[in-house]
Amino acid sequence: MCGIVGYIGKRQAYPILVGGLHRLEYRGYDSAGVALLSDKGELNVYKAKGKVAELELVASEKDCSGTMGVAHTRWATHGEPSTKNAHPHVSESGNLTLVHNGIIENYVVLRDQLKARGYHFQSDTDTEVLVQLIEYVEQSLGLSLEAAVQTALKRVIGAYAIVVLDRRSPNRLVAARKSSPMVVGIGEGNEEFFVASDASPIAEYTKKMVYLNDEEIVVCERGHELRVCTLDNKDVPVEVKNVELDLTMLDKGGYPHFMLKEIFDQPSVLQDCMRGRLLPEHGRVVLSALTDHRERLVSARRIVIVSCGTSWHAGLIGKQLIEHFCKVPVEVEYASEFRYREPVILPDDVVMAISQSGETADTLAAIELAREAGAFVFGVVNAVGSSIARNTHTGTYIHVGPEIGVASTKAFTGQVCVLTMLALALGEARGTVDAAEYRAVVEELQQIPAKIEHILEQNSRIETLSKIFTYAHNFLYLGRGWNYPVALEGALKLKEISYIHAEGYPAAEMKHGPIALIDQEMPVVFIATHHQQYEKIISNMQEVKSRNGRIIAVITEGDEVVKKMVSEYIEVPETLSCLAPLLSVIPLQLLAYHIAVQKGLNVDMPRNLAKSVTVE
Residue 73, C-beta contacts closer than 8 angstroms, at least 6 positions apart: 2, 3, 21, 24, 25, 27, 28, 29, 31, 32, 52
The strand pairing partners of 61, in sequence order, are none
Give the x-and-dash track for 106-125 against ligand F6R (CB under 6 A): --------------------
**Structural contact between residues 266 and 413, judged by C-beta atoms closer than 8 angstroms:** yes
The contact mask relative to ligand F6R for 329-368 (x = CB under 6 A, - = no) is --------------------------xxx--x--x-----
Say how far residue 433 (Cα) sits from the centre of its chain: 32
- Residue 166's Cβ-count burial label (10 Å; 0-12, 13-18, 19+) is buried
Which CB sits closer to ligand F6R, 369 or 407? Answer: 407
Interacting stretch for ligand F6R, rule CB under 6 A, among 155-163, 210-218, 306-314, 503-511? Answer: 306-314
**Residue 246 burial by CB count (10 A; 0-12/13-18/19+): exposed, middle or buried?**
exposed
Interface mask (CB under 6 A) for ligand F6R, residues 397-426, using x and -?
A: ----------xx------------------
Stretch that binds ligand F6R, among 168-176, 251-259, 305-313, 575-583 (CB under 6 A): 305-313
- Local structure of 571: helix, strand or coil: strand
C-beta separation of 138 from 160 below 8 A? no
- Rg (C-alpha) for the chain, rounded Å, is 25
By beta-carbon proximity to ligand F6R, the closer residue of 31 and 589 is 589
- Pick the piece of the chain touching ligand F6R (CB under 6 A) from 52-60, 117-125, 307-315, 556-564: 307-315
- For residue 137, the minimal CB distance to ligand F6R (Å) is 34
Residue from 107, 90, 5, 7 nearest 43 by CA: 90
Q: Which residue's beta carbon is nearest to the bound ligand F6R?
A: 309
305 — phi, psi (to 5°)? Answer: -95, 130
Which residues share a beta bridge with 158?
104
User: How do 68-74 and 158-166 pair as beta strands?
Assistant: unpaired
Of the candidates 3, 69, 309, 523, which one interacts with ligand F6R according to CB under 6 A?
A: 309
Q: Is 206 or 307 the residue whose CB approaches ligand F6R more closely? A: 307
> How crowded is residue 256: how many other Cβ atoms within 10 Å of its Cβ?
12
Question: How many residues contact ligand F6R, by CB under 6 A?
Answer: 14
Please list every residue from 585 through 614 that binds ligand F6R, using CB under 6 A: 613
DSSP class of residue 212 equals P
Is 611 among the catalytic positions? yes
Give the shortest CB-323-to-ligand F6R separation in angstroms: 22
* DSSP β-bridge partners for residue 31: 49, 74
Q: Using CA atoms, how far apart are residues 465 and 456, in angstroms rounded to an integer?
A: 14
Alpha-carbon torsion (418, 421, 423, 426), positive or negative: negative
CA 131 to chain centre: 28
Q: How far is the CB of 334 from ligand F6R (least distance, A)?
A: 10
CA distance 123 to 132: 12
Query: Please, are residues 17 and 5 in contact by the beta-carbon 8 Å criterion?
Result: yes
Helices (H) and strands (E) in the chain, counts: 19, 26
Tell me the window of 144-152, 281-289, 302-310, 339-347 that interacts with ligand F6R (CB under 6 A).
302-310
State which residue, 156 or 592, has the beta carbon closest to ligand F6R. 592
**Which residues, 6+ apart, have CB-to-CB distance to 261 below 8 Å?**
252, 253, 254, 255, 405
Stretch touching ligand F6R by CB under 6 A, among 89-97, 112-120, 123-131, 304-312: 304-312
Residue among 31, 95, 150, 311 that touches ligand F6R (CB under 6 A): 311
Q: Which is nearer to ligand F6R, 2 or 48 (CB)?
A: 2
Q: Site residues for ligand F6R, window 38-57 (CB under 6 A)?
A: none
Nearer to ligand F6R, 167 or 177 (CB): 177
| Catalytic residue (one of 2, 64, 417, 578) | 2
Q: For residue 530, give the 3-state DSSP assignment.
A: coil
Give the separation between CA 378 and CA 362, rounded to whole angstroms: 16
Specify the length of the chain in residues: 616
Choice from 91, 180, 310, 589 touching ligand F6R (CB under 6 A): 310
Asked if residues 299 and 430 have their Cβ atoms less than 8 Å apart, the reply is: no
Selecting among 51, 410, 451, 611, the annotated active-site residue is 611
Residue 326 annotated among the catalytic residues of the structure:
no
CB of 360 to ligand F6R, least distance (A): 3
CB of 480 to ligand F6R, least distance (A): 22
Nearer to ligand F6R, 163 or 398 (CB): 398
Q: 148 vs 525, which CB is nearer to ligand F6R?
A: 525
Provide, rounded to whole angstroms, the least separation between the CB of residue 226 and ligand F6R: 28
Considering the complex, what minimum distance in angstroms separates the CB of residue 398 from ligand F6R? 10
Is the N-terminal amide bond of 88 cis, ω within 30° of 0? yes
Q: How far is the CB of 309 from ligand F6R (least distance, A)?
A: 2
Smallest separation, CB 2 to ligand F6R (Å): 15
Nearest to 87 by CA among 124, 40, 56: 124
Q: How far is the CB of 278 from ligand F6R (least distance, A)?
A: 23
The window from 114-122, 182-190, 309-317, 447-455 that contacts ligand F6R (CB under 6 A) reads 309-317
Q: How far is the CB of 173 from ligand F6R (least distance, A)?
A: 28
Task: Tell me which residues in 480-509 interact with ligand F6R (CB under 6 A).
Answer: 492, 496
Q: What is the 3-state secondary structure (H, E, C) of 300-351?
A: CCEEEEEECHHHHHHHHHHHHHHHHHHCCCEEEEEHHHHCCCCCCCCCCEEE
92 versus 496: smaller Cβ distance to ligand F6R? 496
C-beta of 334 vs 534, nearer to ligand F6R: 334
- Interacting residues toward ligand F6R by CB under 6 A: 308-311, 355-357, 360, 363, 407-408, 492, 496, 613
Active site residues: 2, 611
